[in-house]
Chains A and B, each alone.
Chain A
Amino acid sequence: DTAVSQTPKYLVTQMGNDKSIKCEQNLGHDTMYWYKQDSKKFLKIMFSYNNKELIINETVPNRFSPKSPDKAHLNLHINSLELGDSAVYFCASSQVPGGGQPQHFGDGTRLSIL
């Protein structure tokens, strides 16, 4: 069974559209994250939730809105997509909060904006 699963794996859409990426983990972890990996492979944290509560919110445009309906799910909704949003988005989870915990990553969602 996949520990951290993201859907969709690929997402191609036009500028200005609104899209969502879903993430689910079956590890029983309390903390979940969203990362953005740009074309140069640079990986940067966007958000972190612990037990449905937001604990990290990096400098991300407010077009990006995470939602955690329960601690096993952390979805990412993006409004008014822009060309610069093209990237691979990774979801991750860890047992407890704190960047010191090993994180388990999903397979990524490759978002391409036309």
Chain B
Amino acid sequence: AQSVSQHNHHVILSEAASLELGCNYSYGGTVNLFWYVQYPGQHLQLLLKYFSGDPLVKGIKGFEAEFIKSKFSFNLRKPSVQWSDTAEYFCAVNPLNTDKLIFGTGTRLQVFP
């Protein structure tokens, strides 16, 4: 079955620390990839997406993600986090030519000043 794994369930960082959140998926074919963020008490918002082309994609608020096809991974990075980045982060995968968006279980990020 297709699945998305986010191994970091809870990450705690100080401001200005660097961030990397892991995302791996199990599907052998072509995929579209997404990272969504859910700030406390708010709805999910799109951070960035990868469809094709340059495997390093840049999103909003200084986030970026790198698609490594051989590793079935799409890790999220930010060089220097801020307190306002405290949120739940979800990786999502759409196997091409399907209507489904499969979400990972989410990673809770807490940033302390």
A107-B42 in contact given A41-B105, A42-B105, A98-B94 (Cβ < 8 Å): yes
Q: Which of A41, A97, A98, A103 contacts B88 (CB 8 A)?
A: A41
Is B44 interfacial (CB 8 A cutoff)?
yes
Chain A residues with CB below 8 A from B46, complex form: 102-103
Q: For the complex, what is the distance from the CA of A68 to the CA of B100, rounded to whole Å?
A: 19
Establish whether residues B99 and A98, one from each chain, have CB atoms under 8 Å apart when the complex forms.
yes
Q: Which residue of A lies closest to B33 (CB)?
A: A100
A100-B94 in contact given A41-B106, A56-B99 (Cβ < 8 Å): yes
Is A99 interfacial (CB 8 A cutoff)?
yes
Q: For the complex, what is the distance from the CA of A97 to the CA of B100, rounded to whole Å?
A: 9
Q: Which residue of A lies closest to B106 (CB)?
A: A41
Q: Which residue of B lies closest to A56 (CB)?
A: B99
- 0/1 interface trace, chain A 40-57, chain B, CB 8 Å (1 if under): 111111001000000110
- 0/1 interface trace, chain A 78-98, chain B, CB 8 Å (1 if under): 000000000000101000011
A43-B106 in contact given A100-B94, A105-B44 (Cβ < 8 Å): yes
Q: Which residue of B lies closest to A97 (CB)?
A: B99
Q: Nearest Cβ distance between residue B63 and chain A, in whole angstroms? A: 15
Chain A residues with CB below 8 A from B108, complex form: 41
Establish whether residues B94 and A40, one from each chain, have CB atoms under 8 Å apart when the complex forms.
no
Establish whether residues B105 and A45, one from each chain, have CB atoms under 8 Å apart when the complex forms.
no
Is B72 interfacial (CB 8 A cutoff)?
no
Q: For the complex, what is the distance from the CA of A108 to the CA of B42, rounded to whole Å?
A: 8
Question: Known pairs A41-B108, A90-B43, A100-B32. 6 more at Cβ < 8 A?
Answer: A42-B106, A45-B100, A98-B98, A99-B95, A99-B98, A99-B102
Listed in ascending order, the chain A residues whose CB lies under 8 Å from chain B are 4, 40-45, 48, 55-56, 90, 92, 97-100, 102-103, 105-108
Closest 10 CB pairs between A and B?
A99-B94, A99-B101, A100-B32, A105-B43, A43-B103, A105-B44, A41-B106, A100-B94, A107-B43, A99-B100
